[in-house]
Structure 1
Amino acid sequence: MTASPSVGPLAGVRIVDFTLFLSGPFATQILGDLGAEVIKVEAPDGDMSRSVPPRFVDGSSTYFGSTNRNKKSLMLDMRTPEGLAIARQLIGEADAVVENFRPGKLAHLGINAATERARKPSLVWASISGFGQDGPLRDRPAYDMIVQAMSGVMSMTGEPGREPVRAGVPIGDLCAGLYAVIGLLSSLLEARRTGVGRDVEVSMLDVQVALLTYQAASYLQGGEVPGLQGSAHDFIPSYRCFRAGDGKVIAVTANTENMFRGLVRVLGLGDLANDPRFKDGKSRYKNRETLINLLNTEFARSSSGDLIERLVAAEVPAAAVDDLEAVFNNPQVLHRGMRLKLHGPSPDQRLEVAGDPMKFNPPGRTVHSFPPRLGEHNGEILARLKQAVA
């Protein structure tokens, strides 16, 4: 099946995708969602994420399907002279390359940014790696949980008194992919203006350290190492989860004075708003254990549904901690198209995935192509390259 015609802000942009597994494919899927033509170059055994158990659709894992819509697949053995020549010709026609091999791997095969940019000065080259293209850990292998652990993120994730845990979604991979897209898009704009491309280099570890934001600033200024955060904000005691009387967990983010007043009023604790111990953010932080105990007691006396309705009516942000069944039946999620159905020409090509969060007016891509079979577009792409040479 030929991928859908490009429609969107990146229509006419061609990306050569040398990525595997998650961080890179997530980045290039975003580019495909934005309308770019994304050509995914795969070795004869394919992207390893095609074989991740337990669920498969049309012969490939749903893991692969979750990050490879709106792409074309070119199966190519770049270890052969013929395959390498085709890859280089493809790069010569592209606006950008995205790769997430270990540093030096593509160069070992015979492809590197400097050589390709000498042939095409405007080429943008985005590389995602665990630790970066230089430094003492450059060659160390990395996966999502490794960078969560090494960055300090994991040291703050989990309930106090228990073992650290990784985030429930692979933020090491996914956030690196997002930063790669940001760097690539800004470099494409520059290349259009100057005619000169540049390398965009993203380290998964760097990204996780960048995400420390206010925790990093607090530690670097005061030297106090934060511990496990659980479901609470360590600086704002009314920004946390509470368990209602029916056992449901409610997330509450009462982080302004008006929200705090609304929270205690809904709970029947309105006098706390004028209590000197809780009169402002500093006082509440100082007396946080007392405040949290009072709030926990009142939450335990109410049912979650009624409490959430009353909190929202009082303009206090609150929500149940939903599982995925609730998420993908949430009317807002459905209205926004975040439960996306992908269809191919074969009856077996039916897959539901999380949708595209970027909305445009006028609309961008409205029809999303099914994740490609391995080498599905070899005929189309190779014929075009052959014609270009002729």
Structure 2
Amino acid sequence: MTERPTGPLAGILVADFSRVLAGPYATMLLADLGADVIKVESPAGDDTRAWTPPVRDGISTYYLAVNRNKRSVVLDLKDDGDLGLARELGTRCDVMIENLRPGGMARFGLGYDDLSPANPGLVYASISGFGTTERGAALPGYDLIVQAMSGLMSLTGDPDTEPFRSGISVFDVMAGMHAAIGVLAALNERYLTGTGQQVEVNLLSSALSGMVNQTSAYVAGGVVPQRMGNSHPSLYPYEPIPCADGELIITSGNNAQFRKLCEVIGAPELADDPRFARNEDRTVHRAELRPLLVERLRTRTKMEWFRDIIAAGVPCGPINDVAQGVGFATEIGLDPVVEVGEGDAMVPSVRNPVTLSDTPVDYRLPPPALDEHGKEIRAWLRGDEGSVGS
């Protein structure tokens, strides 16, 4: 490797046996923080290498999204020699992350119980769709299936439409973040005790946790939430409202914000109307309040209202497409796009959202080609003199 990792996780070696999204997203987060991530791939490569279009220079942008700062090695676990190298990697690494079906790694002698006796400090993270019970382990762990079975799709869309999936694989991403959090917690415990442990995350549990107020409505309140389109079950206004040239999201989170909104739109009397004075009243009487707000907001453009409503201290924003979202982040100085690599190998990538004052994230390696670092990694695992390791 031409450049040593820096950052708070520098010196941590991660063996990444995962593929597609949840696992690779988790390992990229760790790599951005300085971990040395070895991406172990089958001869066919990560599935997302073939998930096209769109592409950049013939490479899937899906794959590019979650694989920077890693080195790639191809190890065919059905080949005895490659399997031996995989086991050697398991005894040397600090962290292993995998998302095969439960029991899949153990069939190759690469499970936590197989590796931890020789590597007692190993932090071993497994990501599954539905957990490791007999019934859960038998179910395929695809994000869309979890969106359906968790209840999220029942909440997404208008009341009179069919259920919809989220525009992204939201629970894969959420499970990846939960896995990274679990790994960091286990590494801290290892720092204190010297002993590693197994970390287990499943998409369904991540989904139920991540649906926060909606799952709480049922488990704590006995209420089964239903689709409400872009409306919020407990706040109003908290949705898009038509203006002269399009819709503007307005989120009034408390009574003071609602009063400011009413003053800006020239209807201060609405804040004193007993139907609308308190949030719980507005929520109950939303069908009566909405047309009164629409009547006022339709008189000007969404950007004119955006400027004035924001200036009054009421949260709001236009509905952007992805290009406009990236553009707005750039406009306000968040620098959302970073360039990883150099010359022809440079790849634009989305900035890691974490900012650390003393040990910043770095972007040292573009997403690797299949087996790009295989020769040096295999030589290091075989113990060849002069080989380049972690």
Scaled by the length of structure 2, what TM-score is found?
A: 0.94
SS of the aligned residue for 2:269 comes to: helix
Corresponding residue for residue 67 of structure 1 = 66
Corresponding residue for residue 371 of structure 1 = 367
Following superposition, the deviation at residue 271 of structure 1 comes to 0.6
Q: Would you say 1:286 and 2:284 are equivalent positions?
A: yes
Q: Is the 8 A contact 1:78 1:87 kept in 2?
A: yes
**Alpha-carbon distance change, 171 to 268 in structure 1, aligned in 2, over 3 angstroms:** same
CA–CA distance in structure 1, aligned partners of residues 384 and 286 of structure 2: 69
Following superposition, the deviation at residue 217 of structure 1 comes to 2.2
Q: Would you say 1:361 and 2:360 are equivalent positions?
A: no
Deviates more, 1:132-141 or 1:117-126: 132-141
Following superposition, the deviation at residue 171 of structure 1 comes to 0.6
Give deviations 1:272-331, integer Å, cap 9, x for gaps.
111111121222222221112211222222211110011111000111111112122225
Aligned length in residues = 386
Q: Is the 8 A contact 2:15 2:39 kept in 1?
A: yes
Corresponding residue for residue 228 of structure 2 = 229
CA–CA distance in structure 1, aligned partners of residues 169 and 331 of structure 2: 21
CA–CA distance in structure 1, aligned partners of residues 60 and 135 of structure 2: 35
Give deviations 1:317-352, integer Å, cap 9, x for gaps.
11111111212222546732311223345x2x3432
Corresponding residue for residue 275 of structure 1 = 273
Q: Which amino acid aligns with 1:11?
A: A
CA–CA distance in structure 2, aligned partners of residues 125 and 95 of structure 1: 8
Following superposition, the deviation at residue 193 of structure 1 comes to 1.0
What is the alpha-carbon root mean square deviation over aligned residues? 1.8
Give deviations 1:13-33, integer Å, cap 9, x for gaps.
000000111111111000001
**Alpha-carbon distance change, 153 to 9 in structure 1, aligned in 2, over 3 angstroms:** same
**Alpha-carbon distance change, 57 to 218 in structure 1, aligned in 2, over 3 angstroms:** closer
* Percent of residue pairs bearing the same amino acid type: 36
Instruction: Please list, as runs of the form range in 1=range in 2, the aligned pairs for 1:168-317 lying within 5 A after superposition.
Output: 168-247=167-246, 249-317=247-315
Q: Is the 8 A contact 1:35 1:364 kept in 2?
A: no
CA–CA distance in structure 1, aligned partners of residues 255 and 125 of structure 2: 44
CA–CA distance in structure 1, aligned partners of residues 216 and 171 of structure 2: 20
CA–CA distance in structure 2, aligned partners of residues 334 and 384 of structure 1: 45
SS of the aligned residue for 1:297 comes to: helix
Corresponding residue for residue 385 of structure 1 = 381
Give deviations 1:166-206, integer Å, cap 9, x for gaps.
11111111001000000010001101111111111101011
Q: Is the 8 A contact 1:237 1:285 kept in 2?
A: yes
SS of the aligned residue for 1:205 comes to: helix
**Alpha-carbon distance change, 236 to 331 in structure 1, aligned in 2, over 3 angstroms:** closer
Corresponding residue for residue 122 of structure 1 = 121
Corresponding residue for residue 90 of structure 2 = 91
SS of the aligned residue for 1:276 comes to: coil
SS of the aligned residue for 1:105 comes to: coil
Corresponding residue for residue 325 of structure 2 = 327
Instruction: Please list, as runs of the form range in 1=range in 2, the aligned pairs for 1:95-114 lying within 5 A after superposition.
Output: 95-114=94-113
Following superposition, the deviation at residue 362 of structure 1 comes to 2.3
Give deviations 1:76-96, integer Å, cap 9, x for gaps.
111111111101111111111
**Alpha-carbon distance change, 203 to 3 in structure 1, aligned in 2, over 3 angstroms:** farther
Deviates more, 1:104-113 or 1:220-229: 220-229
Q: Would you say 1:5 and 2:1 are equivalent positions?
A: no
CA–CA distance in structure 2, aligned partners of residues 266 and 41 of structure 1: 57
Instruction: Please list, as runs of the form range in 1=range in 2, the aligned pairs for 1:14-53 lying within 5 A after superposition.
Output: 14-53=13-52
Q: Which amino acid aligns with 1:213?
A: V
Q: Is the 8 A contact 2:50 2:60 kept in 1?
A: yes
SS of the aligned residue for 1:251 comes to: strand
Deviates more, 1:136-145 or 1:369-378: 136-145
Q: Which amino acid aligns with 2:202?
A: S
CA–CA distance in structure 1, aligned partners of residues 260 and 163 of structure 2: 33
CA–CA distance in structure 2, aligned partners of residues 69 and 285 of structure 1: 45
Q: 1:341 aligns with which of 339, 342, 345?
A: 339
Q: Which amino acid aligns with 2:374?
A: N
Deviates more, 1:84-93 or 1:324-333: 324-333
Gaps spanning 5+ residues in structure 1: where?
Answer: none
CA–CA distance in structure 2, aligned partners of residues 3 and 246 of structure 1: 53
Q: Which amino acid aligns with 2:287?
A: E
SS of the aligned residue for 2:383 comes to: helix
Corresponding residue for residue 81 of structure 1 = 80
**Alpha-carbon distance change, 145 to 372 in structure 1, aligned in 2, over 3 angstroms:** same
Scaled by the length of structure 1, what TM-score is found?
A: 0.94
Following superposition, the deviation at residue 3 of structure 1 comes to 6.1
CA–CA distance in structure 2, aligned partners of residues 203 and 3 of structure 1: 36
**Alpha-carbon distance change, 229 to 350 in structure 1, aligned in 2, over 3 angstroms:** farther
Gaps spanning 5+ residues in structure 2: where?
Answer: none
SS of the aligned residue for 1:358 comes to: coil
CA–CA distance in structure 1, aligned partners of residues 135 and 241 of structure 2: 44
Q: Is the 8 A contact 1:176 1:202 kept in 2?
A: yes
SS of the aligned residue for 1:278 comes to: coil
Give deviations 1:341-370, integer Å, cap 9, x for gaps.
23345x2x3432222111111252333311
Q: Which amino acid aligns with 2:145?
A: I
